[in-house]
Structure 1
Amino acid sequence: MLVDLKYTGEHSEVSPEPCLDTISLSSGGPDKKPMAREVSCTNFRGLLQYLRKNYGEEAVKKVTADLLNNENYLIADKYDPTKITPVKEEHLTDPAYWVSNEFSLKLLNNVKRVIRSPEPLFLAGRGAVRENFSRTVLFISRIVTPRFLFKQAQKIHSRFNRIKEMSIVEYDQNSITIQFNYVPGIKRTKDACEWNRGIYVETLNIAGLKNVKCEEIECVIDGSEKCVFRLTWTKASVLQRLFGVVSKLVSHWLARELVAEYEESVRDRDALIEKLTESEHRYRSVFESSATPTIIVEEDLTISMANTEFEKLSGYSRQEIEGSLRLTTFFDDDIARCILEQTDDEQGQEDFLKREFRFLDKEGTKKDVIAKVGKITGAQRYVCSLVDITPRKRMEKTLRKSEEKHRTIIQSIEEGYFETDLAGRFTFVNDSLCRIFGKTRKELIGTSYRRFVTPETDDAIYKTFNRVYRTGRPVKVAEYEFLREDGSKLFIELSASLVRNQE
């Protein structure tokens, strides 16, 4: 008789700063990133208002036609920096967004499509200032000196523009000279110089000065290392100068208070942006370095982000997946919705994780996966991690076939064969053993072999089985006395070996 022992184990508005420096998630792959943050969109809000007011809606479309919804000019959403989209008109009027110097120069060049005059950018700069000045700023500019006005402009300028630095070179009662030093290698055009000239002239006009003129006396376009502008105006009257002295203390106090309040709000936003950026980079690093295929899924089942492991699992590139493919590309419609809805019930999710799903890759190959889904706090978005269990399922299928073949062979042999657990209970018996003991398979399974041996034989068999279990070495033929239920005795030659399960 053959014996196998089977061991069983167990198993914001005021800030000109951008929100975040991000990589593309929803509208492109890793090679599509937001454009450089060099010029704040605050610079264009007044321009678009001026064009719309004086030249109509069609003029705005002509100026922005080849720049909006252009895949070459991408920008990160201020509320959800993981979403990268082409620039839209609303971005150009929102101080929270920034664009590249290249984008800015093309926008200014397009102004010449609409304003037909010898100095189109000069007029556009003046018009943009008029549209952008609030009543508070207008009041302050009227009572402070040009020097004070430009000193504050110098501070604020650094917040709105990262391609040049502004400094005041000379100042007297009737003129001021300002200088701009550009970042090395930055592209410049005369359009930008004319645009700036119009801004400076109109700023002083609004401040109440008369006969304001602006001349560019040095320019990088002409080979100079800097751009220098000299502004002149008509000398104020005695009464105006007297009023200036009287109002000086009040005006400086008011202006400083407003500027201080502005700068404090910007500092707070900067600190928040820095924390968000750090958190974003940490999150991205974990997401991308995960050894598990992971995706971010929107409420409409669109996949907005995928890591490298998911690319390998699906067979699609990140460019093909993000913003284009839906969860239903890989799962049946009902299953895809079920995967997301299961996150509403925490207990349900624990049960859900034990279920398996069929995943369809790019080549049409079906794979077995286990899905784990979590809802992102404060957003209608989900993190979905998949475990590919296809190799395991394939191995299990192979093992089942092997076991079926093994069982078939065992059932056909003449010798009796049985398997027991560690307690000695039959877990498998072949037909020959049933005939030997005069019992059916149903009667034997779950009962102990001890029902069919004498106490002396039980002790001997126990020692044999124990030695096999401890050493793992099989025991060859040994003769033992067995009993049938009718009392008749049997002398059986028995050999035993240890069979361990996969765990």
Structure 2
Amino acid sequence: MKRQISCFNTKALLDYVRARNPENLHFLWEPLKGKLPVGEDPEQFLTDPNNWISTEVCRDIMEQTRIATSDEMAVYKAGFESVRQRKLGYIEKILVRAFLTPKHAFRKVQKINDRFNKSKKVEIISISNSRALLRLRWFSDLSLTRDFCLMNKGIYQAMLTMWDLPPAKLEERVCFFEGGPYCEYEISWKRKTLWKLFFRRPAVKRQVLNSLVEEMEKDKDLIRNKYEQVTRLNEELQKKVTYLFSLQEASHAIVSILDEQGLIETIMNLLAGVTGLHRAILFLVDDKRESLRFARAVGAVDSSLERLVDYEIPLDRMSNILARVAATGTPRFVKDVEKSNLRKGNIVLNL
């Protein structure tokens, strides 16, 4: 999957739906089967700002956000709320809040933009202490919809709240998604007086420092969880490698061992080794006698095996679990033999 959109954006969408329509939260990732990394929990993956997704996946989630909330402006509102409620990551908080005024932040708007996505370039046409004119040049080869524009509007309008100012006024002069060559936003805001800016500087430093400490603790937990996840995936991978190796060994045995008993013994030993079974018994179908006959066992005491030498199970004895499996081809798993309906005196259960 292409890394084009930070999951900061999808986290904003999931948080918005969770707060308003939690019963519909699953709508957001239902269309994404096969589009997210295998083995990842969709909700956890899409709310981790360290992850990135393609514009196609983000587009689908935006569409589902509108469906889940029955609100055509839900994506705009999600972008707005994500900033207003201070749900930026700590790097973004530093980039924005460390600037003394909105003007300083807008001068770095492309750098801030790159933290969130790689779907556009932002041009500063003009800027003053209370106004900025921006052009968003979207990459035309990407799968984008009007929702991307709406989310950016919400984010830009809410940015002013990071300086404890009212939301900005935003007028869209040109829209790429209505046939224009780009989106052009005229953003205006109320200026703070000089004395407020002077007294704000120490407070900003404290806020940034506190944010750093808080987010670093969160990152430590994230790294710990990722390490545990990688360890678990490595264990699963090792199991699969072992399975594949055993299949290769079994295939080699089939083509190289001509003796039936030798072949059966090799396969049974491989089976027991791969699965970790303490005991395993193999029955073969005897078509002439229409029965299952004992062929090989591993893990059982040799003296017990003498009772199985001539042991057969008629294939039409459907009360027998082995006969049912052979007849239907459907495997059966008995979790607790003592609580099952199996005949406890059966010779197979008492090896």
How does the TM-score come out when normalised to structure 1? 0.40
Structure 2 counterpart of 1:41, which letter?
C
Q: Give how far 1:98 is off.
A: 1.1
Q: Distance in 1 between matches of 2:242 and 2:116?
A: 31
Structure 1 counterpart of 2:133, which letter?
T
Q: Is the 8 A contact 2:5 2:116 kept in 1?
A: yes
2:30 aligned residue: 65
Structure 1 pair 139–224 and aligned structure 2 pair: CA distance change class (3 A): closer
Where 1:214 maps in the other structure, the secondary structure is strand
Q: Distance in 2 between matches of 1:171 and 1:251?
A: 26
RMSD over aligned Cα atoms: 4.2
Where 1:53 maps in the other structure, the secondary structure is helix
Q: Give how far 1:243 is off.
A: 2.2
Q: Give how far 1:127 is off.
A: 2.0
Q: Is the 8 A contact 2:120 2:137 kept in 1?
A: yes
2:274 aligned residue: 336
2:59 aligned residue: 105
Where 1:160 maps in the other structure, the secondary structure is coil
Q: Distance in 1 between matches of 2:129 and 2:267?
A: 71
Q: Give how far 1:330 is off.
A: 9.6
Q: Give how far 1:254 is off.
A: 7.6
Q: Are 1:171 and 2:127 matched, yes or no?
A: yes
Q: Higher mean Cα deviation, 219-228 or 103-112?
A: 219-228
2:81 aligned residue: 127
1:207 aligned residue: 163
2:49 aligned residue: 95
Return the index of the structure with the highest Cα Rg: 1
1:364 aligned residue: none
Q: Give how far 1:178 is off.
A: 2.0
Q: Distance in 1 between matches of 2:104 and 2:267?
A: 62
Structure 1 pair 257–138 and aligned structure 2 pair: CA distance change class (3 A): closer
* Percentage of pairs with the same residue: 22
Structure 1 counterpart of 2:36, which letter?
L
Q: Give how far 1:143 is off.
A: 7.5
2:101 counterpart (141, 145, 166)? 145
Q: Distance in 2 between matches of 1:297 and 1:121?
A: 40
Structure 2 counterpart of 1:94, which letter?
D
Structure 1 pair 98–143 and aligned structure 2 pair: CA distance change class (3 A): closer
Mapping of residues 280-295 of structure 1, within 5 Å? none
2:173 aligned residue: 217
Structure 1 counterpart of 2:181, which letter?
E
Structure 1 counterpart of 2:12, which letter?
G
Q: Distance in 2 between matches of 1:181 and 1:171?
A: 18
Structure 2 counterpart of 1:111, which letter?
T
Q: Distance in 1 between matches of 2:2 and 2:85?
A: 27
Q: Is the 8 A contact 1:297 1:304 kept in 2?
A: no
1:230 counterpart (179, 186, 207)? 186
Q: Give how far 1:228 is off.
A: 1.9
Mapping of residues 381-460 of structure 1, within 5 Å? none
1:74 aligned residue: 36
Structure 2 counterpart of 1:101, which letter?
T
Q: Give how far 1:155 is off.
A: 1.6
Where 1:210 maps in the other structure, the secondary structure is coil
Structure 1 pair 138–301 and aligned structure 2 pair: CA distance change class (3 A): closer
Structure 1 pair 133–124 and aligned structure 2 pair: CA distance change class (3 A): closer
Q: Is the 8 A contact 2:158 2:167 kept in 1?
A: no
Q: Is the 8 A contact 2:100 2:201 kept in 1?
A: no
Structure 1 pair 332–99 and aligned structure 2 pair: CA distance change class (3 A): same
Q: Distance in 1 between matches of 2:113 and 2:64?
A: 24
Q: Is the 8 A contact 2:31 2:60 kept in 1?
A: no
Q: Distance in 1 between matches of 2:274 and 2:243?
A: 16
Where 2:239 maps in the other structure, the secondary structure is coil
Where 1:215 maps in the other structure, the secondary structure is strand
Where 2:64 maps in the other structure, the secondary structure is helix
Structure 1 pair 220–125 and aligned structure 2 pair: CA distance change class (3 A): same
Structure richer in strand, relative to its length: 1
Where 2:144 maps in the other structure, the secondary structure is coil
Higher relative contact order (CA 8 A, sep 6+): 1
In the TM superposition, what whole-angstrom CA distance separates every residue of 1:217-238 from its partner, at most 9, and x where no partner exists? 22222333322222122344xx
Mapping of residues 326-365 of structure 1, within 5 Å? 332-336=270-274
Q: Is the 8 A contact 2:84 2:161 kept in 1?
A: no
Q: Give how far 1:104 is off.
A: 0.4
2:240 aligned residue: 302
Q: How many residues align?
A: 239
Q: Are 1:242 and 2:180 matched, yes or no?
A: no
Structure 2 counterpart of 1:95, which letter?
P
1:191 counterpart (147, 157, 165)? 147
Structure 1 counterpart of 2:58, which letter?
S
Q: Give how far 1:304 is off.
A: 8.7
Q: Is the 8 A contact 1:177 1:228 kept in 2?
A: yes
Where 1:302 maps in the other structure, the secondary structure is helix
Q: Distance in 1 between matches of 2:81 and 2:4?
A: 23
In the TM superposition, what whole-angstrom CA distance separates every residue of 1:252-298 from its partner, at most 9, and x where no partner exists? 87899999x99xx9xxxxxxxxxxxxxxxxxxxxxxxxxxxxxx984
Query: What are structure 1's unaligned runs of at least 5 residues?
Result: 1-34, 76-83, 266-295, 315-327, 339-503
Q: Give how far 1:87 is off.
A: 6.1
Q: Is the 8 A contact 1:46 1:131 kept in 2?
A: no
Structure 1 pair 190–220 and aligned structure 2 pair: CA distance change class (3 A): same
Q: Give how far 1:153 is off.
A: 4.6
Q: Give how far 1:51 is off.
A: 2.0
